[in-house]
Amino acid sequence: MKKQKSRAAAFLLLFILPLSLFAQGVASGEAKNNPAPPFSLSDRSGPAAPAIFGLAESQEISPPTPPAPEHFTFKSITGDFLKDAGEIWTYPLHIRTRDILPIAGVAVLTGILIGNDESIRRNMLNYRMSHAWVKAVSPVLTEMGNFGAMGTAAAFLFYGLIAKDDKSVETAVLATSAMLQSAILITFLKGMFGRQRPYWDNGVDRWSGPVGFFSRLEAGQTGRYDSFPGGHSITAFSLASVVAMQYQESVWVPILAYTTATGVALSRVTEGKHWLSDCLVGSVLGYAVGRMVVLNHRSRYHIIPTAGVVNGSLSFALTVSTR
């Protein structure tokens, strides 16, 4: 069994974990003559806006007439979605040097967890059985990685449309996009690894690759070999990272978002549905996907403040530019 786990960890290190931080170093919609700065997961905001026009006492400067604000359309949403998808699936082809250290760190930690997943699972299930509050909270939290996440995105959209809050609508669209990207990515990865769920064979950890994954088509095998990475975890962190970045001016929104997502990931272990390493990788992937979607959106649609003096009066304007 240890030999099998070692092979699984090695496969993890060599093949797929570069995807876990694909949001780093990925730039989208770059203009040929004015490329945007490369993205990094350490970035805390979108591209910087140009400096405000200088003001001269004796010279009148007429600010440009801003175009109509950019609204989401089916064409723009699908176009952005396809661009983001292209960056996700091509990331292994252009990994940068500065990405190697964080990728290696996640890979090593994941390998350590894989080697100890069986004992970790037993301990967490024992903790759940001896603490009534975990029994009560865990089943509720775990739904925030499924219908709860979709409901949250729908709530942002509903509120935004009713209250005419563009930021809320934008959050709903970006969160939905991130969760869809995550769903596609996680389905592929589950198929590649074919890891057995912990509730089969009395919690014995098995890896069977694509062969095991497709055995789910057999009677009674549904969901058996689709444990790694965690689907609820990637969904919860995709949503959390989008919401946290959209409302980063608030202290409590990011804290609440990431705390809830962490609770979702842990609940998958206490509910006996996943190994802890599944949840770690799913969480990292979800965080990366959400950040990439938001940063790409900000790089494509800039709001540029400008100022000038018109007829002796100070005038301000906001220009929406796209790439």
Q: What is the percentage of the chain residues whose pLDDT exceeds 90?
A: 59
**What pTM did the predictor assign?**
0.75
Mean pLDDT, rounded, for 161-185: 96
**Residues 84-110, buried b or exposed e (16+ Cβ, 10 A)?**
beebbeebeeebeeebeebbeebbeeb
Written as one letter, the residue type at 204 is: V
Which band of pLDDT confidence, cut at 50, 70 and 90, is reported for residue 267? very high
Least confidently predicted of 152-156, 211-215, 267-271:
211-215
Confidence (pLDDT) at 247: 97
| Tokens 């993205």 sit on residue | 39
Least confidently predicted of 16-25, 73-82, 158-167, 234-243:
16-25
Mean pLDDT, rounded, for 241-263: 97
Residue 31 has pLDDT above 50, yes or no: no
* Token reading at 249: 């001016």
Measured distance CA(147)–CA(298) in Å, rounded: 27
Task: Please state the length of the chain.
Answer: 323
Mean pLDDT, rounded, for 93-121: 93
Residue 118 has pLDDT above 50, yes or no: yes
ω into 229 cis (within 30 of 0): yes
Which band of pLDDT confidence, cut at 50, 70 and 90, is reported for residue 133? very high
Q: How far is CA 17 from CA 114, 120, 319, in A?
A: 14, 22, 40
Q: What is the dihedral of CA 248, 254, 256, 262, to 10 degrees?
A: 160
Measured distance CA(40)–CA(97) in Å, rounded: 12
Measured distance CA(294)–CA(246) in Å, rounded: 8
The total of other beta-carbon atoms located within 10 Å of residue 75's CB is 8
* Residue pair 205/198 in contact by the 8 Å Cβ criterion: yes
Q: What is the dihedral of CA 19, 23, 28, 30, to 10 degrees?
A: -110
* Token reading at 198: 């912990």
Mean pLDDT, rounded, for 295-303: 78
Residue 73 has pLDDT above 70, yes or no: yes
Least confidently predicted of 28-32, 76-80, 302-306:
28-32
Residue 55 has pLDDT above 70, yes or no: no
Which band of pLDDT confidence, cut at 50, 70 and 90, is reported for residue 59? very low
Helix then strand then coil, % of the chain, to nearest 5:
65, 5, 30
Which band of pLDDT confidence, cut at 50, 70 and 90, is reported for residue 22? very low
| Tokens 């064409």 sit on residue | 75
Residue 121 has pLDDT above 80, yes or no: yes
Mean pLDDT, rounded, for 152-171: 96
Confidence (pLDDT) at 313: 63
Confidence (pLDDT) at 146: 94
Helix (H), strand (E) at residue 297? helix 276-300
Residue 52 has pLDDT above 50, yes or no: no
Residue 24 has pLDDT above 70, yes or no: no
